[in-house]
Amino acid sequence: MEFFTGILAGFAALAQPDILLYMVGGFLIGTFFGAVPGLTSVLAIALLLPLTYSLDVTAALVACASIFMAGMCSGSITATTINIPGAPASMMTALEGYPMQQRGEGAKALGHAALASMIGGSIGALLLILVAPLAADAALLIRTPGKFALIAFALVVIIISQRKSISKGLIATMLGLMVATVGIDVMQPLARFTFGTGVLVQGIDMMPLIIGAFAVSELLVQARNRSAHTVDLQQVEAPPIRRRDFIPPWSEVREIGLYRYLKSAVIGYLVGTLPGAGGSMAAFVSYAEAMRTSKHPERFGKGTPEGIAAAEGSNNAMCSGAFVPMLTFGIPGDPTTAIVLGVLVINGLQPGPQFMDSQLHLVAPMFAALMVSALVMVPLTLYLLGPYFLKIVSIRRDVLYSSIAMIALVGSYVATYSLFQMALALIFGIVAYFMRRQDYPTVCLLLGFVLGPSLEEYCRRALSISDGNPMIFLTSPDSVFFLGLTAVFFYFMVIRKPKATPLPS
């Protein structure tokens, strides 16, 4: 009961003008970053990270939550109108939205996307509120060997979910682990990999890595493009959109059915709890499932609202699912929750099994922001800004990227007043740029860096408990459970690879 009172207090906190401002501002920023091809909500949250040093933690978490939710649904705007997904999670939406746009039903497609995002996001937030305390209770049962096995499970799943190349995912993760070992050892007062310099003794901060990997590397990637605008409106044919066209017909909503909306939301939420999965996998799994079980599978790929509902409902529900392992186990499964973890760490907070109880007053407004963003902000933003979306996302690249560069670099300076941090951000940016050019996933780099210290600490602690006997990992039930789970995932994702679902071209 106390928990639900705390959650209600979180909703009340959103009514405070400053917190509300951060939620609305965050949502608008997330919408912009999610809709502009090349920008992502991860980049928006990464740019926000340095500011959280001088920001109230509740406001920062609320802003992060609304950016995350907005970024997930706004990718559908350019996916539908010009067939360029603003975010990877909207690729499945483009398959159905763009054919509808070509039939003159673009506004209706956006309306379906917003409705599904609204339902999926709200159900996801509700599941987070209901399930997170149970997950936290379960997390209390996990002892030191089990914690090691759980983090190892997360890292293995993150690596094997890199379908393009598992080896490259492994390399990126190991590089993250290598960077994480710089500084004082996790168990004894011994400096490692400082190369005789004092500046590395404290270790490498998460902030320059995030700014480098997600902001500076994007600046370098975009420097290869010399177009004047982010979207060239002269090359796309998009008829003007009227507000009244956004409202999807009730007959089509009924045809999609409540069950489809609920199922997509649950799929998205569950995918979100898996490490490394993300919005694109949630949308893909849900879309494939919708196509498999639909009464009209022949309509998929030709512009069916059912496909849009499946993809968008799922990727928005994923946002809330991704918070479960981060808040209850302290294990982020995707870059956004890793950055949110960074926000908490910067403020001296460490998520774990008791975090929800002890810091409910801080996370409850974030839960509320996820719910309100999905339920209110998604339809409201579409209604108010929908007709102008294409003009908004067609921005001058010189102004956009020079602004991002300024915020990223000055932000990395003001966080610690250190030019060294700025230089590190540039170095990580260059490294991430070359990695991205050759398909090495930077997400693995970040998650390896974030999870590395805990992996080492729990492994060494477990072995000290057992006087160096590694059998502790096979005799401890929680450890055996997670090692078994790792083996199951490895078997199904690597040895017996899932059959590729034939998607519409």
Partner 1 sequence: MSLQRSRDGRLLVPVALLLVTTLYFFEAWQLGPPMRNGNMTASFFPMAIAIIMYLAIAQVIWRILRSPPERETTDDHAATRRLGPLWVTLATAGYLLAFSTLGYFVSTTVYVFVLTLLYGEGFRGLPLKLIASVIITVAGYLLFEVVFRVRLPTLWSL
DSSP letter string, 71-112: HHHHHHHHHHHSS--SSGGGHHHHHHHHHHHHTT-HHHHHHH
By rule CB under 8 A, what count of residues binds partner 1? 66
Shortest separation between residue 158's beta carbon and partner 1, angstroms: 14
Which of 463, 480, 485, 493: binder of partner 1 (CB under 8 A)? 463
222 part of the interface to partner 1, by CB under 8 A: yes
406 part of the interface to partner 1, by CB under 8 A: yes
188 part of the interface to partner 1, by CB under 8 A: yes
Cβ pair 319, 68 in contact under 8 A = yes
List C-alpha distances in Å: 292 to 265, 284, 288, 306, 504: 17, 12, 6, 12, 12
419 part of the interface to partner 1, by CB under 8 A: yes
Nearer to partner 1, 372 or 431 (CB): 431
H-type alpha helices, 347-418: 355-358, 360-372, 378-385, 389-393, 397-414
Shortest separation between residue 475's beta carbon and partner 1, angstroms: 17
Q: What is the 3-state secondary structure (H, E, C) of 183-232?
A: EECCCCCCEECCCCCHHHCCCCCHHHHHHHHHHHHHHHHHCCCCCCECCC
Choose the stretch contacting partner 1; rule: CB under 8 A; options: 11-19, 59-67, 325-333, 391-399. Answer: 391-399
Q: Enter the tokens of residue 23.
A: 């939620």
Contacting partner 1 within 155-184 (CB under 8 A): 165, 167-168, 170-171, 174-175, 177-178, 181
Q: Find the distance separating the first CA and the last CA of the chain, reported in whole Å.
A: 50
Nearer to partner 1, 131 or 423 (CB): 423
List C-alpha distances in Å: 35 to 176, 245, 268, 493: 29, 20, 20, 31
Alpha-carbon distance 503 to 239, whole Å?
28
358 part of the interface to partner 1, by CB under 8 A: no
198 part of the interface to partner 1, by CB under 8 A: no
Choose the stretch contacting partner 1; rule: CB under 8 A; options: 5-13, 238-246, 369-377, 455-463. Answer: 455-463
Which of 156, 291, 326, 459: binder of partner 1 (CB under 8 A)? 459
**Could you tell me which of 108, 377, 97, 104 has the C-alpha nearest to residue 243?**
108
Which of 69, 219, 274, 374: binder of partner 1 (CB under 8 A)? 219
Residues binding partner 1 (CB under 8 A): 51, 54-55, 165, 167-168, 170-171, 174-175, 177-178, 181, 185, 187-188, 190, 192-193, 195, 216, 219-226, 228, 396-403, 405-407, 409-411, 413-414, 417, 419, 422-423, 426, 430, 433-435, 437-438, 440, 456, 459-460, 463-464, 467-469
